Structure 1
């Protein structure tokens, strides 16, 4: 069994992989006492043979997770860092390590699952977009603020935009709260649709569009293109990575 860790900007997700199945899952927001909460939970879980993690957060949060893993299992995570090429996926970045490992692993999952060629969109703190061709070549992507971060940016930079309640997405909003929510969510939807159109010629004309991230369910209905929701893409990519690197013991 392998314990897989996905350290995202908003929360930590984890799953225990036994063969091809996730037999245990969990998640915590970073406002929790991660080291304590994890060690308490993991203390009741079966013992994994390895722990493999992907992180886009700072060393402090990685260390807290490592402390929990040591306490619960007497094991330390092996952290996957973004490579130039692995598991059939070729990174488009000239400096491969600057591509977020979460984006790379989502492409690993997409290729392994037979979804390429495709556009991969993930919406959370950030909105990320990547184009992956049928041979596993990453063609590049875009990064923008996610819809909630967009709203926070407007609120932080203005004196009079102070809605008293959370807004709803409307075609034509008639109040500030709904106007702010509608503008930010629709801006993200439009960006995804435009990226699909720009990437399509290099992806055979009609690429599949997959959507993941914590806000995927909210964004999906706003898109003009058909979309396939792919939850846990990073954990699934980690599972592919872990199996591919099991013999060599090559984690980083």
Structure 2
């Protein structure tokens, strides 16, 4: 039994996994008290190992590691983005500069047999990566997620002050709808442009895998078929953890 940890910008997501089967899972926002998370973990069977992927600061990473140590007596093995692992080959010349969350989402796609695909994460950031069927990462893009775009716009302007959240329309007649629609449509347009630019390099139209908390909101705006994926980072981490276990068991 393994405890898997995905420390994202907005939330900590976790799963208790054994040989590909999830026995429990959950999430907690960073502004929640970690003691609440500990109360949930106390009811779990103790894991034999803990593995984590983190894109947050050292302080939060160490706070989570301390909880795992206190509750389960285990040290967290943190994955730092490698040049190659689990059949995926990182395109970055400096491998560690690629976010581990992006790398693990590609590991999950490759392990699932997704073939030539684009792996899109829709959260605080909008991340897009192209992956060939044989595991070659062709590179990717990073942009603000649609909600972060909205917050950035409101923070940088004096007159754009909608009183409501706004709804998505093709052309707005009020500021609230204009802000919401503009930011979400910009995200959708970037995904569609990335598909168009990567298709010639892949030799065929790639499958598009959408993951992240805001992925459901983006799907209706896309003029192309997509596959919704849940917890791609955790699934990729499970593949990596299994490979590590296999390596450590090898003579």
TM over 0.5: same fold? yes
Partner of 1:3: 3
Scaled by the length of structure 1, the TM-score of the pair is 0.97
Partner of 2:78: 79
Instruction: Give CA-to-partner distance per residue, 1:8-37, whole Å, 9 cap, x none.
Output: 000000000022111100100000112x12
| Inter-partner Cα distance in structure 2 for 1:224 and 1:231 | 21
Gap runs ≥5 in structure 2: none
Instruction: Report if the CA contact (8 A) 1:132-1:138 is conserved.
Output: yes
Root-mean-square deviation over aligned CA pairs = 1.0
Give the secondary-structure state (helix, strand or coil) at the position aligned to 2:246.
Answer: coil
| Inter-partner Cα distance in structure 2 for 1:216 and 1:166 | 18
Instruction: Report if the CA contact (8 A) 1:82-1:100 is conserved.
Output: yes
144-153 vs 197-206, which deviates more? 197-206
Partner of 2:183: 184
Gap runs ≥5 in structure 1: none
Instruction: Report if the CA contact (8 A) 1:212-1:232 is conserved.
Output: yes
Partner of 2:28: 28
| Inter-partner Cα distance in structure 1 for 2:205 and 2:9 | 31
Partner of 2:156: 157
Deviation at 1:120, TM superposition (A): 0.8
Instruction: Report if the CA contact (8 A) 1:38-1:65 is conserved.
Output: no
Partner of 2:209: 210
Partner of 1:135: 134
Runs of 4+ aligned residues of structure 1 deviating over 2 Å after TM superposition are 247-250
| Inter-partner Cα distance in structure 2 for 1:107 and 1:214 | 17
Deviation at 1:202, TM superposition (A): 1.4
Give the secondary-structure state (helix, strand or coil) at the position aligned to 1:22.
Answer: strand
Deviation at 1:249, TM superposition (A): 4.0
| Inter-partner Cα distance in structure 1 for 2:133 and 2:25 | 31
Q: How many residues align?
A: 249
Scaled by the length of structure 2, the TM-score of the pair is 0.97
